[in-house]
Amino acid sequence: TRSLMKQVSFNLKNKKGERADVLETGIKYFDLLFPLVKGSKTGIMGGAGCGKTVVILELINNIVKAHGGACVFAGIGERIREGNELYYELKDANLLKNVMLAFGQMDQPPGARAEVVNAGLCLAEYLQAKNKDVLLFMDNVYRYLQGGQEVSTLLGRVPAETGYQPTLASEVSAVQERIRSVEGGGSITAFQAVYVPADDMTDPAVVAIFSYLDGSIVLSRELVQRGMYPAIDPLQSSCTNLDSTVVGRRHYDVSQEVIEHFNKHNGLKRIVAVIGVEELPSDDRLTFLRAEKLYNFMTQPFHVSEVFTGKKGEYVSIEESVEGCAKIISGDYDHMKAEDFYMIGKVPPL
C-alpha cells in the first residue's frame, strides 16, 4: 500500500516567509512569463504536432543538467521512438543515474497505459519520502485518461454524454492530488504534456486536468504554421507564479509590459492586414513593430531539436530574458528588423 503523507497546500511563501524557489529553465517564454516554482504543476497543452514532447524533452535537458537532483519520466501512451531517443540522450549526457523511467507506450494494452502514471507517481513519492526535490515529467496525461476510457468500455460501463468514462473526474483527481509537497519533506514539481483533441480547449478531459494546474502553457497551431518555435500562445497561457513576490518587481514589470505589447499587437494585426503597418498612427506603429520583435525574440533553437533544425541549441538565463525584452520595449533596437531576432538566444549587442 502507498504510504500516507500529510498533505500541505502550496503557498508562494513558506512558513519562514522565504521567497518560493524559482526553477530556471533556459527557455525564454517559461522564465519570463510562466515561471516554474518548486512544488508546482505545469501543463503543456496542444493538439497533434504542436511540439508538446519537444518542449518536455528540452525542459528535461535544461533543468536536469542545470539543477541535477532526482527526476522521473512517465511515458504514457506515446511513441516508442520518443522513449528510445530520450533513453540514449540521457545516456550520452551521463544523466541516466539521475533519472527514473516508466513507460506504457501506445502499443501496450489500455490497462498498462492507464496504470503507468501510477508507476511514475510511486517512483516520485519514493524519492520524495527520502526528502528529495523531485522533477516529474508526464507525457501524455491525456493518454492516461484515454486508456481509462478503453478499460471502462471493456468493463461495460455506460459512458458519459461526451463519450468519456463516468469516472473521469475522480481518475484525474486521483492522480493530481498525489502531486504535492510534504511538510518537512521533499517536493514534487510536475510537468504534464496534455494532448488537446481537435485543438478543442473545452474538451471535458482537458478541462478536468486544467483545474488542477498552477500554470497552463497553450501551444498554438497558427504559430507552428508560421514557424514560431516554441509555439506558445502567450495570450491563452497563464501562470499563478507570475507574481512580484515570486519573481521580483523588475521581472514582473517587464513581463506585464511584454503581455501588454502582445495584447495591442493582437488588436492591431487585423487592421495591419488591411491597410498596412505604415498607415497606423505613429504610437501604434511603434508598439506593433516592437511586439513583432518581441514575438521573434521569444523563439529559440532547442538543444533536443538540433538534428532537425541544424541550429545550435541556446540556453538563456532569466536575467538575459528579462533584460533583452526590456531593451526591445525601451526602443534600443528600433533600428533593427524583427527578422533579426528570429531564432536567437540573447539579444545581439548594441
Residue 16 annotated among the catalytic residues of the structure: no
- Cα gap 314→321, rounded to integer Å: 12
Q: Give the β-pairing of 133-139 and 187-195.
A: parallel
Which residue in the list 65, 79, 264, 346 is annotated as catalytic? 79
Residue 131 in 3-state DSSP? Answer: coil
Cell numbers given for 216: 497552463
Cell numbers given for 238: 497563464
Q: What is the 3-state secondary structure (H, E, C) of 227-253?
A: CCCCCECCCCCEECCCCHHHHCHHHHH
Residue 78 annotated among the catalytic residues of the structure: yes
Cα→Cα distances 37→20, 52, 136, 138, 163, Å: 7, 20, 13, 17, 35
- Show Cβ contacts of residue 22 under 8 Å, excluding neighbours closer than 6 positions: 35, 36, 37, 38, 241, 246, 247, 318
Which residue in the list 41, 52, 143, 180 is annotated as catalytic? 52
CB atoms within 10 A of CB 154: 11
Which residue in the list 24, 78, 115, 125 is annotated as catalytic? 78
Residue 52 annotated among the catalytic residues of the structure: yes
- What is the set of active-site residues? 52, 78-79
